Amino acid sequence: MQVIIFDNAQQVAENAAEWVAELINKKTNPVLGLATGSTPISLYQELVNKHKAGELSFTKTTTFNLDEYLGIDETNVQSYRHFMNENLFDHVDINKDKTFLPTCAQGENPRQQGLDYENKIQQAGGIDLQILGIGANGHIGFNEPTSSLASRTRIKTLTQQTLDDNSRLFAADEFQPTLAMTMGIATILDARYVLLMATGKNKAKAVKDMVTGALSAVCPASALQLHENAIVLLDKEAASELEDHEYYVWADKQNNKINQEFGLYHNY
């Protein structure tokens, strides 16, 4: 796991945007995995800025989102499709026919929908770079604690903690879904690179468990310990419970030196 600590959340977003831009500018048919939630909003803002500055075009990019609420229509303002349109897709030159979310409408079979989503990812050539946030309970996507580390796209019941954490996004009288479709942990581990962003003090414990805790379904993000190319971008607050803080800063300096000498090499 490559842990990189920044002074603030804006720097995390800027660095994440560099990763995405590098992939998109380098690969003919890039496949990008996307996340929703508060954390990546500033990343999407950076990508929109790059696009408007003429530095980035999404015409060849295919995207797969991590998750979507069950039985929620894309016209619903709480749908993750709506979130993606608002925060990214409507502001860049992406072909929306190449943007996918693991949807499951009323009456559709969630098991079949999960299988179809996995197949679609395969057919696109697999995900090159998967953007991730992390829940305060250590979830990635909606893979809640005790999710199988071998899981694939499927329906998940959200935990009370996740419902409470996300209740800030729903009005008092608004329906808050308790079920979602999510890529599984094995689906996420299949991505060639995973880029996890975490900012703020409320993520510090989950970050510590992910980076230095036991590999365990209790902290689904700890599964990233098994990934060859897992990059973790943190602000100081999210990194505040990591004991070996200086080590990560030092290791990052060494990586930068190697990059300067031999060039940046990502095997997409």
The catalytic residues are: 67, 137, 139, 144
User: What's the one-letter identity of residue 159?
Assistant: T
Environment class of 207 (CB within 10 Å of its CB; exposed 0-12, middle 13-18, buried 19+): buried
| 79 binding ligand F6R? (CB under 6 A) | no
* Cα(114)–Cα(239) distance, integer angstroms: 34
| 144 binding ligand F6R? (CB under 6 A) | no
**Of the residues 135, 138, 184, 220, which one makes contact with ligand F6R according to CB under 6 A:** 135
| 139 binding ligand F6R? (CB under 6 A) | yes
Return the number of the residue (19 or 57) whose C-beta is nearest ligand F6R: 19
Six-digit token pair at 32?
Answer: 């990008």
Q: Phi first, then psi: what are they for 23, rounded to 5°? A: -60, -50
**Of the residues 33, 37, 102, 110, which one makes contact with ligand F6R according to CB under 6 A:** 37
* Cα(115)–Cα(240) distance, integer angstroms: 39
| 68 binding ligand F6R? (CB under 6 A) | no
Q: Which residue is nearest to ligand F6R (CB)?
A: 133
Shortest CB 188 distance to ligand F6R, Å: 10
| 235 binding ligand F6R? (CB under 6 A) | no
Residue 94 has a CB neighbour count (10 Å cut-off) of 21
On whether the CB atoms of residues 142 and 67 are closer than 8 A, the answer is yes
Six-digit token pair at 183?
Answer: 């890529």
Six-digit token pair at 73?
Answer: 């229509």
Please report, in angstroms and rounded to a whole number, the separation of the first and last CA atoms in the chain.
18
| Binding segment toward ligand F6R, per CB under 6 A, in 5-13, 101-109, 137-145, 229-237 | 137-145
| 188 binding ligand F6R? (CB under 6 A) | no
| 133 binding ligand F6R? (CB under 6 A) | yes
**Of the residues 9, 23, 56, 66, which one makes contact with ligand F6R according to CB under 6 A:** 66
* Cα(154)–Cα(104) distance, integer angstroms: 10
Binding site for ligand F6R (CB under 6 A): 35-39, 66-67, 133-135, 139-141
